[in-house]
Amino acid sequence: MTSTFLSAFPGHWRRPADDYRDAIKTSLIVLDTNILLGLYRFTPAARSELFDVLSKVEDRLWVPNQVVDEYYQRRIDAVKEHIDLYNEVPKAISDHKAKILSEIRNFANRCSLSGPDKNELIDPVEASIKDVLEKIKIHEEKFDLTLEKVVNADPILSALAQLLDGKTGDPFSAEEKESLLKEFSNRVETKTPPGYRDAGKKENAHGDYFIWEQVIRESKARNMPILMVTNDAKEDWIRREAGLIVGARPELIEEMKSRADTELLITQLGLFLKSAKAELGASVSPSTVAQAESLRSKSPSAARRLRVGVYIHPQLVRELGDLLNASTAEVNKLERFLSSKEIESHDLIALRTILQKELKRREFLSTSLFCVRENIVSETKLDYIIGFPDEVSFEQARSALHALRRRARHMLHTGRAEIRNTEGEDPAIREQINSLLISKGFAHEQMERLNAVTMEAHHRAREGDPKGYEEYTAAREELTSSEVALANIEEQLRELIARMEGDRES
């Protein structure tokens, strides 16, 4: 497209598919850390197909030094996390099974159902869960990696070493690192992408910025455009509109153009594989594309954002602060116990394991608290939108927020709600606002649940499940109703807040 109406505003509109298809044949192809680590979650067949695709572009393949460093730091954890799923998911299913069967038995007893009628409810549940657990076991047996294999003779590391020999960047010197870390701090202050979203991380917060700096330098040195392949969909890399990925952030496109005089495209792994199949004749199965796209869904930036009401925000800060203090006290207690008493060796191992878990919990609570205080991505008169660098710190904050909402609703229903007035406020208006804020919080929880149901049903519908389409349609209708209800609540809140502020001014 040659129109200045478009060319003067790169990154604000989605580039045509032809640009990505051309890029896979002409650009320098840069792999992000998550692509290398994703190999440890692929099935053997999908992994083989991805390596085949990469071998077809190996003369234009390049990996930043920072990516290689992050890969070595995280590759063992990557395979461990995947292997752990085969234990954690069956355990979670079994736990839910016990709760489901308990509810069914309680229902049957309260309805005075006969033994056969009760079994008609229980048997299908048990059979379905048994079938799911057996299928998970089959997938576990098909997975070809173990921790021992990866530690002792990692086949993926060997394949990458051969593929990427001579295709990795040089590290920064000590002087360059010092200068770049100062520049990173400045970019965080001005929210210049990429990397500012990771500012709350305890370790490697600068990682994305170092990758970016190395990519720009390599592009300039070779005078080649960049096609970056990543499953990172954070807002400081990717521009989204209405929840859809448009492409690289405009700031990144402009910086690449001004410093290297080259073009930048960022693509997700699934789209990259589809382009490779179409343009390079690579053998890529639908299953491999589906696995690549499922990796993308692990870390969308939207999934790491939390909407927090302005009025409940200070309470959430206090709640997380209390949890962090309690965790610190627990860590101190365990450390004192371990250092002051003689303990049997098997107990010592168990206590050290508990201590390590609590230390990790404290670290994530600290990150969560930092984000709630400092990482407000956007705000309205009613809400803050808070971003988180990882799923665990996000879940810590969300759990604390849900606990606050449950307590607030209980206090409201029992007549013990705390109505915090300031001078000049009408207590009746404040009580209405508190009630609506609680309703608003639960409306958001309902919409989160419905969004998850909608996405799952939509996926099943795409796979050809007719019930999936029915459930998707029903969930969409319910979601629309919830959105209307939420809009009404927010409108009432705006009116009440305006009244309260007007009364205070008068």
Q: How confident is the model at residue 345 (pLDDT cuts 50, 70, 90)?
A: low
Predicted confidence (pLDDT) per residue in 128-164, tens digit: 999 999 999 999 998 988 888 888 889 999 999 999 9
Q: How confident is the model at residue 463 (pLDDT cuts 50, 70, 90)?
A: low
CB atoms within 10 A of CB 216: 19
Contact 392, 361 (CB under 8 A): no
pLDDT higher than 90, residue 181: yes
Q: CATH topology for 419-506?
A: Methane Monooxygenase Hydroxylase; Chain G, domain 1 (1.20.58)
CB atoms within 10 A of CB 447: 18
pLDDT higher than 90, residue 280: yes
Q: Where in the chain are the domains? A: 4-75+160-297, 80-153, 300-388, 419-506
The C-alpha atoms of residue 85 and residue 39 are separated, in whole angstroms, by 16
Residue type, 199: A
CB atoms within 10 A of CB 451: 14
Q: How confident is the model at residue 44 (pLDDT cuts 50, 70, 90)?
A: very high
For 218-238, what is the mean pLDDT? 90
Contact 187, 36 (CB under 8 A): no
Distances (CA, A) of 82 to 21, 50, 78, 123, 144: 32, 18, 7, 31, 12
User: What are phi and psi for residue 380, nearest 5 degrees?
Assistant: -125, -175
Please tell me whether the peptide bond between 286 and the residue prior to it is cis, using omega within 30 degrees of 0: no
pTM > 0.85: yes or no: no
Q: Report the percentage of the chain scoring pLDDT > 90.
A: 32
The C-alpha atoms of residue 405 and residue 319 are separated, in whole angstroms, by 12
pLDDT higher than 70, residue 422: no
Distances (CA, A) of 21 to 231, 389, 431, 446, 477: 18, 32, 58, 41, 38
The C-alpha atoms of residue 202 and residue 184 are separated, in whole angstroms, by 15
Both tokens of 374, joined, read 């400092």
Residue type, 61: L
Predicted confidence (pLDDT) per residue in 240-279, tens digit: 765 567 788 899 999 999 999 999 999 999 999 999 999 9
Predicted confidence (pLDDT) per residue in 53-112, tens digit: 999 999 999 999 999 999 999 999 888 888 888 888 888 888 788 888 888 988 888 888
3-state secondary structure of 28: strand
Q: Specify the range with the lowest mean pLDDT, choosing from 37-41, 226-230, 289-293, 460-464.
A: 460-464
pLDDT averaged over the chain?
82
pLDDT higher than 80, residue 454: no
- The β-bridge relationship of strands 264-267 and 238-241 is unpaired
Contact 339, 427 (CB under 8 A): no
Q: How confident is the model at residue 404 (pLDDT cuts 50, 70, 90)?
A: confident
Q: Which residue has the higher pLDDT, 330 or 168?
A: 168
DSSP string, 471-498: HHHHHHHHHHHHHHHHHHHHHHHHHHHH
The C-alpha atoms of residue 434 and residue 279 are separated, in whole angstroms, by 58
Q: Which residue has the higher pLDDT, 224 or 204?
A: 224
- The β-bridge relationship of strands 28-31 and 226-229 is parallel
Q: Which residue has the higher pLDDT, 265 or 302?
A: 265
| Model pLDDT, residue 258 | 94
The C-alpha atoms of residue 315 and residue 59 are separated, in whole angstroms, by 55
User: What is the residue whose two structure tokens read 């298809």?
Assistant: 21
| Model pLDDT, residue 504 | 46
For 5-31, what is the mean pLDDT? 80
Cα four-point dihedral sign 209, 211, 217, 220 = negative
